[in-house]
Structure formats: C-alpha cells, structure tokens
Structure 1
C-alpha cells in the first residue's frame, strides 16, 4: 500500500487523495523506505515459515503475488495505468496469496494438495478483494484521467461502473451457489456466506445511488472492505466446520 501511494504521488495521481500514506506521513522517502523494509521483513518471515512447513511451493506463489504487486504500480511497468490493476489484484490476493497461505499451514508434509475446494475459495477471496480496488477509483476518476491513469472507471464512467459493481456482486453469489451445487464447497460455506448477501446488496445500492457524488462515493470502497471481511470470515468458518463434519461422519476403516 505504501509503495503504491509513493508511485501515485510521483505521477500526481494522489495529489487530492487524503488517505494517501505519503500525504498522511508527509514524507515520500520515509514511506518508500518503510514499505521496502516491511516487504523484506515479511518475506524473510514467510520464508522461515515455508522452510519449517517443508513446503517451498508456497514461496513460488508468494513471489508471484509480490511480482503482481510490483508490476501493478512500480516503474517501468505501471500496468495499473493501462487498466490492468484489477486482474493483477485478483491474481495476487486470490489464487497466489490465498493458496500460498493454505500451503503454509502444514508442518508435516510438503505435498499438501491444492484441491478444487481450496482453489475455488481463493477465487472468491480474489473476487472480493478486487471489488475493493475497483470501487476505490470512483472518487478519483478526474485525478486519474488528468495523469493518463486509465483505470476501468476512467474508461467506463461512474454510471456504467456502478452497473459493473452490481454484476460483480451478483456473480460472486451466483458462483458461490454454483460451487455449492456441484459440491466443490461444503454446504455450510454456502449457508454462512449467503448470510452476507445483505452487505453485498448495500454495496450495490450505495454505488448506484451515489456514483455521481464524489464526496459520498468515497465510502464505497469501505463498504467493499466490510463485504470482503465478513464474506471471508464466513467462508473460512464454513470450511472449518465442513471439515469437522466430514471427519466426524467419515466411515471408519475396517480393521483386519
């Protein structure tokens, strides 16, 4: 987040962004040093965990997630300025990072399987994370356009962007139910995640009603953060409970 704000500060995209880390701290140098230091410390810690878990596949996935983050905003790539920030965000926080952290949970096997359940769960996490990024651009359309940062909302406009939010939320829950029907996710996941639909509806209605109001639409991304948090908590709880139920009622092996 810090390095992202530094490079947006350099292009002038964040000159009116009050929540920019650089604008809050008041120092570009301090922010970038802190960002790179935290990255180094974090990666060292995760490398240690990967070694302890004897699962080096997680490091490859984490490196891929970091690479997505770098080419998203850092020079000379700056792919977010070409409207590619959302796909990179989806890949980084969904399949790459979520699967990596799953693999790090094992301390006994380097062959922990990546099942359809894990992969589909990572897709849902990537989906809600990407929705946060998409909605964060609503109040920055004018500033982004001024520096040629062609985010999806600059290309689409806020009205069509609000419709994209609606389609995205409908797709999220449709995908959830489809995964339940085909038994890729436990039914308790479907039930618990379905309870968050009211927050999804709030995100949609807020975007539709306030997409023209630069002051109010600022809150859209925070409603998406709320959806991401409770949806993720429901998904994780459902996976844990589903696993417990499966183990409890699994047939006992016949002892010969």
Structure 2
C-alpha cells in the first residue's frame, strides 16, 4: 500500500497489527470455557490473562517489524501487509522502544498473575516475553531458523490455554504464590483443549510463510516453507487443521464431554475454503485474504469451542 499521507496513529496501528489479536483472545476464550465447565472460572485472573496475552502479541508484532527491517528480511518486494520500520513510517528506534515498553507492560500485568499462580507463572511469563523478542531478534532468531512454528504452537497455543485455565483454578484451589503446580490446576483436558488453538494459530504463520517464501529465501530467513518447500507447508496447514477438528471428537468420545464440544465443526466450511486457497496460491493477492480468514477461523473456532466446553 502507499505510505503517503499515513497518519502517526494509523502507522502505529499498522505496527501493532490488531488483526492478529484473535491469536491472543482465542486461547483465553478456550481456557475460560473449560474453567466454566469445571467450576473454576475466575473473572479477574481470566481478564488479566487476556490483557497479558494481548500485550505479548503486540510486543511480538513490534519486535518482528523492527528486527525484520534491520536484518534485511523486509524489502520493497514484500507482498504482505506494510511494515512501518521498513517503509520509513516510524523510525526504527521508536519501534524498538515501543517493543520493550509493551513487553514491560505485559510484565506489570503479569505481577498479579504471578501472585495468583506463583513460580510456574513467573517462569512461563518470562519465557513468553523472552521468546517474543527472540522470535526475530537476538543472536539466534527463532523465525529465521525454522523454529517460529514451534514457538507459536507452544506459546500461543499450549501455554496460553493451559495458563489461562491454571491461573483461574489456582485462584480458587490454592493459596497465593504457590511454589509448584497445585493439584487440579493443570488437567489433561486443558492440555488437549489447547491443541486446536495451537494448531490454527500456527496455520496463520504457515500462510504468512508460504506467501513470503521467495523473499525469505533471498534474504536468508530459513522458515520451514523455505527449507522444505510449498508442498510441505501445504501439508502442514491441512495436517494442523485435521488435528484441530479431531480434538473435539476425542473430548466427546474419550473424555466424557457433552456433544456440544463438537460445535467448532460448524466452522469446517470456512476451513475448507481457506485450505483451497492455501493449496493453490503463492501470491499476496490471494494469501493476504487467506491470512485474515485463517484468523477469523481461529476466532470462530475458539468461541464455539469455549461454548461447547462450558456446557
């Protein structure tokens, strides 16, 4: 897009990328739904978990914008959404400063969650912030060495869902600042329920990497799409969707959940339509909308899944 006449406010919104916030909200929704179903819902820890997750997401977006630009991974040939550092809309040092201020705000919010969840949340929170910076920054950027998918799967999926459930359960079942993991605060159902969110969140990155494969290969960013090709990434996308839709079935048959847990299957037509695009396209004109639709799929799946878990 043209960067002429873009206001400062608009530029900062572009850097924050609010369209990625479903990746922060989705795990909280599922963690809340499961907590409601198990009778351990706690509003304040759940809200703090969402605010913290949103700040980490935005901080990671700022970090990606800054580090991709200074390391040369973003060029004028980029087909994705406009990056404010590379395009000159915001000076690099301002984006870097915003990155660390946002992560600092996440840590401040996290102090309450540490009070509730103790040492486990302290460790997870610090790892989440460190990984958000290390995704594209530091001496060994995760996203530049094919580890971005694992980072998203673990931190925006498994850790985010189980962590949301944990802080609610801990606020009810344990004393403040537990040193270990109190009984009943991390359940098998919470870990399994995190897998669809982890899978679809990772698929957002897969679409991004398929779209940027040629540019990433030229600039030395060795994503899985660059390392193994379009075929691998397309199989990865479909395989992760298969995992997402298999989990509700497992919870119904094997974990004695209500049939309402199958509500996310209502989103299957959207998943099929987006998959067709990912399986056949490589350019930004088609994959940018597919990226947004995968985010919408994540939000819709998470909402219906949360309802099904809460019933």
Structure 1 residue 174, shift from structure 2 partner = 2.4
Query: Which residue number corresponds to residue 47 of structure 1?
Result: 111
Q: Which residue of 134, 146, 152 corresponds with 2:218?
A: 146
Deviation readout 1:222-251 (Å, 9 max, x if unpaired): 11101111111111111222xxxxxxxxxx
Contact between 1:89 and 1:130, CA under 8 Å: does it hold in 2?
yes
Q: Which moved more, 1:53-62 or 1:195-204?
A: 53-62
Structure 1 residue 54, shift from structure 2 partner = 5.2
Dislocated runs of 4+, deviation >4 Å: none
CA separation of 1:54 and 1:207: change in aligned 2, threshold 3 A:
closer
Query: Which residue number corresponds to residue 201 of structure 1?
Result: 272
Query: Which residue number corresponds to residue 172 of structure 1?
Result: 244
Partner Cα distance (1:34, 1:187) in 2: 45
Structure 1 residue 185, shift from structure 2 partner = 4.8
Partner Cα distance (2:124, 2:258) in 1: 25
Contact between 1:64 and 1:96, CA under 8 Å: does it hold in 2?
no
Contact between 1:18 and 1:24, CA under 8 Å: does it hold in 2?
no
Q: Which moved more, 1:198-207 or 1:172-181?
A: 172-181
Structure 1 residue 145, shift from structure 2 partner = 0.7
Structure 1 residue 64, shift from structure 2 partner = 2.6
Summarize the alignment of residues 23-62 of structure 1 with structure 2, pairs less than 5 Å apart. Answer: 23=87, 25-51=89-115, 53=116, 55-62=118-125
Contact between 1:120 and 1:184, CA under 8 Å: does it hold in 2?
no
Structure 1 residue 195, shift from structure 2 partner = 1.0
Q: Which residue of 72, 80, 90 corresponds with 2:143?
A: 80
1:14 aligns with 2:78: no
Query: Which residue number corresponds to residue 227 of structure 1?
Result: 297
Question: Which fold has the larger relative contact order, with Cα–Cα distance below 8 Å and residues 6 or more apart in sequence?
Answer: 2
CA separation of 1:215 and 1:103: change in aligned 2, threshold 3 A:
same
Q: Which moved more, 1:76-85 or 1:167-176?
A: 167-176
Structure 1 residue 78, shift from structure 2 partner = 0.7
CA RMSD across the alignment: 2.1
Aligned length: 238
CA separation of 1:156 and 1:228: change in aligned 2, threshold 3 A:
same
Unaligned runs of 5+ in 1: 242-256
Deviation readout 1:16-53 (Å, 9 max, x if unpaired): 344324247422111111111011111111212331x3
Contact between 2:267 and 2:301, CA under 8 Å: does it hold in 1?
yes
CA separation of 1:166 and 1:197: change in aligned 2, threshold 3 A:
same
1:3 aligns with 2:45: no
CA separation of 1:226 and 1:30: change in aligned 2, threshold 3 A:
same
Structure 1 residue 66, shift from structure 2 partner = 2.4
Summarize the alignment of residues 238-249 of structure 1 with structure 2, pairs less than 5 Å apart. Answer: 238-241=308-311
TM-score (norm 2): 0.70
Unaligned runs of 5+ in 2: 1-60, 175-181
Partner Cα distance (1:82, 1:54) in 2: 33
CA separation of 1:120 and 1:202: change in aligned 2, threshold 3 A:
same
